[in-house]
């Protein structure tokens, strides 16, 4: 596909790298000459220096022939204007990053009037992911599938866990009351394995399990993970993520204490979030943290603009016994290093944004087939969890799984059939309209027919 990316920032560059890997024809526009030159040296893409919202620049980039335009500059207004002009020029599908909370209430109207097919708010998407983690504080990462009925949960295996030290096929016979979940993937020493029955989970493994929401909750309770609900949460930084998160968790009955060092910003937040406790001050100040009862919090979330501050305050909260600590990081390459320090739960707006956009691009690539409904990248892209909707007439429909060939390094994890969640075995079949979740160590899959064949 011909994809035009407007804005060569962190999101634009990461997205171009991933889409190029999947064989797409990429063009990038940016006004910063130095950034453009750097991209020309590192990526095999067409780079154009110019005003992103200028008709002449967009014509030079052949926006009239583009299948998808992704507007990801630092300006919401430029992204919207660029999408409008490109659509008028002939771009088939436009995506605009719109981040300002002021536009949140009117985003549907803006989409309709400006011809934007999809909008994306990275900060709001990050806040939604954090709010899910607060519902299930025992997990490192959570991703919902199959209309929210199925959840893929990542957690760190501990020495005392009953699932450690035994082959997976023996767990049910040894622990008959252990809720049945599917062990989808295991990360060990940076490598991802899709485990079979003989696989033995070891302490320190990052395990990904999938099941219905209730089953997942019972599973973690059974292995001794606390499911105590979060009632009090402390936030470092009063940025957009903190604003969206405070609005979300308020509806969950969670009390918010938020630190913001800028006096004017703190005053504005106090007006916008009347039910939150906004503290004007330096949230990295240990005395101030203790004064506001850090040790009594159920969760501490570091969302400042500086990774170093997030890391240090997260570690400090951890040493004070806060049960759930979440840190925002822009340096996702250091994820494992940070996790080894004990900070298992990290969020990256850039990665969340790129994963969301990749999912939509893949869906457009194969709009006539069993397109990707949901995409979740595991272990920095070394594995993926994908959700498809099975299409009537495909050759695998109605055929028992044991009679089908499944692509190497791939697992059919979950089938949602008429609201019934099935952990599939050899005799199970996929019917038209079923939601099918697969786990694969291969990337770039865009159709279920690439995974299972007659």
Q: Which domains does the chain have, with CATH numbers?
A: 2-120 (3.40.50.720), 137-222 (3.30.70.1450), 235-347 (3.40.50.720), 362-453 (3.30.70.1450)
Determine the average pLDDT of the residues in 343-364: 84
Determine the average pLDDT of the residues in 312-327: 94
Model confidence over 178-230: pLDDT tens digits?
988 889 899 998 888 889 889 999 999 989 998 888 888 888 888 887 657 89
Confidence check: pLDDT of 12 > 80:
yes
Confidence check: pLDDT of 368 > 70:
no
Q: Between vectors from CA 393 to CA 390 and to CA 396, what angle results, nearest 5°?
A: 60
Q: What is the pLDDT of residue 98?
A: 92
Closest CA to 353 of 149, 177, 98, 163: 98
Q: Which residue has the higher pLDDT, 268 or 339?
A: 268
Whole-angstrom CA distances from 78 to 95, 128, 197, 282 are 12, 25, 53, 33
Q: pLDDT band at 355, cuts 50/70/90?
A: confident
Measured distance CA(298)–CA(321) in Å, rounded? 9
Q: pLDDT band at 389, cuts 50/70/90?
A: confident
Model confidence over 231-242: pLDDT tens digits?
999 999 999 999
Which helix (H) or strand (E) element contains residue 418?
Answer: none
Determine the average pLDDT of the residues in 73-80: 93
Confidence check: pLDDT of 58 > 60:
yes
Measured distance CA(362)–CA(28) in Å, rounded? 19
Determine the average pLDDT of the residues in 328-342: 80
Q: Which residue has the higher pLDDT, 349 or 213?
A: 349
Q: Specify whether the CB–CB gap between 98 and 119 falls below 8 A.
A: yes
Return all residues near 345 (Cβ < 8 A) that are at least 6 apart: 133, 139, 140, 141, 324, 325, 326, 327
Q: What is the pLDDT of residue 217?
A: 82
Measured distance CA(64)–CA(89) in Å, rounded? 5
Q: What is the pLDDT of residue 41?
A: 92
Measured distance CA(61)–CA(196) in Å, rounded? 48
Q: Between vectors from CA 302 to CA 157 and to CA 336, what angle results, nearest 5°?
A: 40
Confidence check: pLDDT of 382 > 60:
yes
Q: Which residue has the higher pLDDT, 104 or 9?
A: 9
**Strand, helix or coil for residue 263:** helix
Q: What is the pLDDT of residue 43?
A: 93
Q: What is the pLDDT of residue 278?
A: 96
> Of 157-171, 339-353, 365-379, which has the strongest mean pLDDT?
157-171
Q: Specify whether the CB–CB gap between 61 and 88 falls below 8 A.
A: no
Determine the average pLDDT of the residues in 256-264: 96
Per the listing, tokens 């405070």 go with: 246
Q: What is the pLDDT of residue 448?
A: 87
Q: Between vectors from CA 120 to CA 115 and to CA 123, what angle results, nearest 5°?
A: 150
- Percent of residues, the chain, with pLDDT higher than 70: 96
Q: pLDDT band at 283, cuts 50/70/90?
A: very high
Confidence check: pLDDT of 359 > 90:
no
- Percent of residues, the chain, with pLDDT higher than 90: 51
Confidence check: pLDDT of 334 > 80:
no
Q: What is the pLDDT of residue 48?
A: 95
Q: Which residue has the higher pLDDT, 365 or 87?
A: 87
Closest CA to 236 of 276, 179, 281, 191: 281
Closest CA to 7 of 42, 52, 39, 40: 52
Average pLDDT over the chain reads 88
Q: What is the pLDDT of residue 366?
A: 56
Q: Specify whether the CB–CB gap between 386 and 446 falls below 8 A.
A: no
Measured distance CA(424)–CA(92) in Å, rounded? 38
**Strand, helix or coil for residue 416:** strand
Q: Specify whether the CB–CB gap between 247 and 273 falls below 8 A.
A: yes
């Amino acid at each position: 596909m011909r994809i035009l990316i407007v804005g060569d920032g962190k999101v634009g560059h990461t997205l171009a790298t991933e889409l190029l890997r999947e064989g797409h024809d990429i063009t990038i526009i940016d006004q910063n000459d130095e950034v453009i030159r750097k991209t020309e040296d590192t990526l095999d893409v067409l780079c154009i220096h110019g005003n992103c919202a200028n008709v002449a620049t967009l014509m030079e980039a052949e926006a009239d022939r583009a299948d998808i335009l992704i507007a990801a500059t630092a300006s919401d207004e430029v992204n919207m204007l660029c999408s409008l002009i490109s659509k008028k020029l002939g771009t088939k599908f436009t995506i605009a990053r719109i981040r300002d909370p002021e536009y949140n209430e009117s985003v549907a109207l803006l989409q309709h009037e400006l011809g934007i097919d999809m909008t994306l708010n990275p900060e709001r998407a990050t806040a939604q992911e954090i709010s899910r983690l607060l519902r299930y504080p025992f997990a490192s990462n959570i991703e919902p599938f199959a209309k929210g009925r199925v959840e893929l949960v990542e957690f760190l295996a501990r020495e005392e866990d009953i699932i450690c030290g035994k082959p997976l096929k023996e767990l049910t016979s040894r622990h008959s009351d252990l809720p049945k979940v599917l062990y989808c993937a295991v990360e060990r020493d940076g490598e991802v394995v899709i485990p079979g029955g003989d696989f033995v989970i070891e302490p320190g493994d990052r395990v990904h399990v999938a099941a219905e929401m209730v089953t997942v909750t019972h599973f973690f309770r059974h292995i001794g993970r606390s499911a105590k609900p979060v009632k009090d949460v402390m936030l470092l930084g009063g940025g957009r993520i903190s604003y969206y998160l405070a609005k979300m968790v308020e509806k969950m009955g969670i009390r918010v204490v938020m630190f913001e060092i800028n006096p004017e910003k703190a005053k504005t937040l106090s007006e916008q979030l009347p039910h939150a406790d906004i503290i004007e001050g330096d949230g990295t100040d240990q005395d101030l943290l203790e004064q506001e009862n850090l040790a009594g919090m159920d969760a501490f979330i570091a969302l400042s603009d500086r990774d170093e501050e997030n890391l240090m305050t997260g570690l400090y909260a951890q040493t004070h016994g806060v049960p759930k600590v979440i840190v925002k990081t822009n340096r996702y390459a250091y994820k494992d290093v940070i996790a080894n320090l004990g900070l298992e739960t990290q969020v990256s707006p850039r990665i969340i944004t790129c994963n969301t956009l990749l999912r939509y691009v893949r869906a457009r690539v194969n709009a006539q087939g069993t397109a990707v409904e949901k995409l979740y990248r595991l272990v920095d892209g070394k594995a993926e969890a994908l959700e498809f909707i099975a299409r009537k007439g495909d050759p695998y429909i109605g055929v028992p799984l044991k009679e089908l060939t499944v692509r190497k390094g791939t697992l059919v994890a979950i089938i949602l059939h008429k609201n019934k969640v099935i952990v599939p075995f050899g005799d199970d079949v996929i019917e038209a309209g079923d939601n099918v979740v697969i786990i694969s160590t291969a990337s770039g899959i865009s159709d279920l027919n690439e995974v299972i064949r007659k």
